[in-house]
Amino acid sequence: MTVHHLDCCRMHPLGRRLLSGEGSVFERATMVSHVLAVESKEGIVLVDSGIGMDDVKEPQKRLGKSFLDGLRPELDESRTALRQLEGLGYEARDVRHIVLTHLDLDHAGGLSDFPDAHVHVLKSEYDAATQRLTRNEAHRYRPIQWAHGPKWELHEVAGGERFHGFERVRAIVEPDVLLLPAGGHTRGHAVVAVRTGDTWLAHAGDAYFHHGEVADPPHCPPGLALFQRMLSVDNAARVANQTRLRELKREAGGSVRVFCAHDEEEWASFTGASGARAS
């Protein structure tokens, strides 16, 4: 399957040295929103959806002041998944499935641009996003982003064969797209694995934020490490899943490429740091 790597929102929080390990604390860092657009036999499959058209048009209403002030996203319509897919010759109706790592607002904003798509997510994540039981969850989930009534496909964690140490839920386009439960950042966070020929792409969402966290030995800039601990609903589970991802990267070698949603260096390794790129 051909996979296009899209950056569906650039964000520029203050504190570059603390967040990326270089530059000044008074400079702004850059974080991407790495989305996959997979050309499958069933149509286009998106892995995450980034910031959507309505988020760009009504940012205060859709994204909230704390996100806008803290992350300083570039609200650029041309970066939305819809506009980038149109640039590749597709229409909204060509997106048949959206598979989400989780429902945080910077991952789910594009859902409303593809109302005909089936939206796949772990049921535990859907429950967390719709119930919003804690203050953290009330801020991170924005129900307005799915007020259009998506065609939800909710997946339970199933037993059976494992994928490189992860339990797996086979989601869609069998056997080429898998949901791998990896909670911690949120209650129902998942890694999404996509097979392309002899290689798997493992989109780790926000299971980690910096490429150094899956390196040997692992390392992470202190501000980003603190940010992750503050956001996580189960920090022990988050750390354990980072360990599993690091082991997966080491043991699988070139047969699995592991990457997260927001690391600019990982995104550039697929794209050459300029626009959408197929792999």
pLDDT at 278 over 60: no
Q: How confident is the model at residue 263 (pLDDT cuts 50, 70, 90)?
A: very high
Asked whether the predicted pLDDT for residue 121 surpasses 50, the reply is: yes
Q: Domain 2-273, what fold?
A: Metallo-beta-lactamase; Chain A (3.60.15)
- The answer to whether the beta carbons of residues 138 and 117 sit under 8 Å apart is no
Helix (H) or strand (E) holding 178: strand 177-181
Report pLDDT for 197.
87
Mean pLDDT of 236-241: 97
Question: What is the arithmetic mean of pLDDT over 83-99?
Answer: 97
| 148 phi, psi to nearest 5 deg | -75, -10
Give the residue-averaged pLDDT of 12-26. Answer: 95
Quote the pLDDT of residue 273.
61
The string of pLDDT tens digits covering residues 144-191 is 999 999 999 999 887 667 888 887 777 666 678 999 999 999 999 999
Query: Where in the chain are the domains?
Result: 2-273
pLDDT at 9 over 50: yes
pTM over 0.85: yes
Give, as one character, the DSSP assignment of residue 160. Answer: S
Amino acid 160: pLDDT: 63
Q: Does residue 274 carry a pLDDT above 60?
A: no
pLDDT of residue 279: 45
Residue 24 pLDDT grade (very low, low, confident, very high; cuts 50, 70, 90): very high
User: Which pLDDT score is estimated for 159?
Assistant: 67
pLDDT at 44: 96
pLDDT tens, residue by residue, 210-225: 999 999 999 999 999 9
* DSSP notation for 12-50: --B-HHHHHSSS-TTSBP-B--EEEEEEETTEEEEE---
Q: How confident is the model at residue 272 (pLDDT cuts 50, 70, 90)?
A: confident
For the chain, the 3-state helix, strand and coil shares in percent, each to the nearest 5, are 40, 25, 40
The reported pLDDT for the residue numbered 151 is 98
Instruction: Return phi, psi of residue 9, to 5°.
Output: 170, 125
Q: Which band of pLDDT confidence, cut at 50, 70 and 90, is reported for residue 41?
A: confident
Contacts of 252 (CB under 8 A, 6+ apart): 164, 200
- pLDDT (average), residues 269-277: 66
